[in-house]
Amino acid sequence: MNDTLRWMVFTVGFVGICSLAHGADELPAPADVTTEKVLVVPKYCEGVVFDHQGYGYISWGDTITQFTPDGEHRDWAKTGAPNGHKVLADGTHIVCDASQHAMLHLDANGKILGAVSWQCEGKPLRGPNDLSLDPHGGFYFTDPGGSSDTNPIGTVHYVDTAGKTHLIDEGLAFPNGIVLRPGGKILLVAESKKNRILEYEVLGQGKVGKRRVFADLPAKDEAAGQIDNQPDGMCLDAAGNLYVAHYGMKQVQVLDPTGKLIARYDGGNLTTSNVAFGGSETNTLYITGGLGGEAGGGGLFRIPLGVKGLVILPPKAGE
């Protein structure tokens, strides 16, 4: 298999994993759980993800740090400006990197193998932000580079098994976190500058229906010390509830499958940036962000929710 296709070897068994979207435990009341600090890094961080050995990874500055559940950590790779991150069945990694204007492919030791996407239809990528794996063997990613509420040029893309990058949507005000629901039929995208979550019906590989609003999120409460209200990274639990890192609100907000807000958890970080389920039972929610504004240090926190997260890590190749 050539290098262009090798990173896509994760399809086998992934559809089965995605079928777990039922039977999750009831969410605990926010007052009944404690948000625990795991570690602090020098800069605002995001891109939390876990590999087959149980190691976690977070992105900050130009660095990706690997960590253990007890908080031991080491620098794993330096790419430029890493952000969203996923691990594939063969143990390699896909990382969004805004400074390289590309989706990077790294080996299991953090060595950069090359780029798997750097342009779409002849136009260079601006600044990829986050990604979601697809059971068909490709992946979706957001590119908000240069976009804002007054300059809505953000895009959403799909990379197929042949390595071709497709344009899914454009004209967005900073598309950010992105997740694919179990079965691969519904795609959710956080549109940060409009404080909302968008929903797309997936019609085929590289094809989606018209965008629609899945949920508008709460606005900041300045009296409570909240400084912004931008949805960032997202993840799902096994019941289909959506967990949204709400940047500037020091919260992870949980939406049920209909888009109704059902819980708000302390995110630890004021500029909460990303969320992922981890731990031996995949029932602990890990949270990244900035302890203050983006110019300060970053933190990794966790909440032992006891709720089963949706497993997004594909089985190891050959298993």
Please report, for residues 5, 140, 160, 180, 246, the alpha-carbon distance to residue 187 in angstroms, rounded to integers and kept in the order given: 23, 9, 15, 5, 19
Question: 51 among the known binding-site residues?
Answer: no
Cα four-point dihedral sign 190, 194, 200, 205: negative
Cα Rg for the chain, rounded, in angstroms?
Answer: 18
Catalytic residue among 130, 143, 169, 232: 232
Q: Closest by alpha carbon to 225, among 271, 191, 286?
A: 271
End-to-end alpha-carbon separation of the chain, Å?
18
Q: Report the distance separating Cα 124 and Cα 117, nearest Å.
A: 9
CATH annotation of 36-304 = 2.120.10.30
pLDDT value of position 27: 96
3-state helix, strand, coil in the chain (%, to 5): 5, 45, 45
Q: Closest by alpha carbon to 243, among 297, 315, 305, 168?
A: 305
pLDDT value of position 20: 37
pLDDT value of position 11: 42
Residue stretches of the chain with pLDDT short of 50: 1-7, 9-24
Question: 2 among the known binding-site residues?
Answer: no
Is residue 107 part of the annotated active site? The answer reads no
pLDDT value of position 25: 56
Q: Report the distance separating Cα 94 and Cα 105, nearest Å.
A: 5
pLDDT value of position 161: 93
Question: 195 among the known binding-site residues?
Answer: no
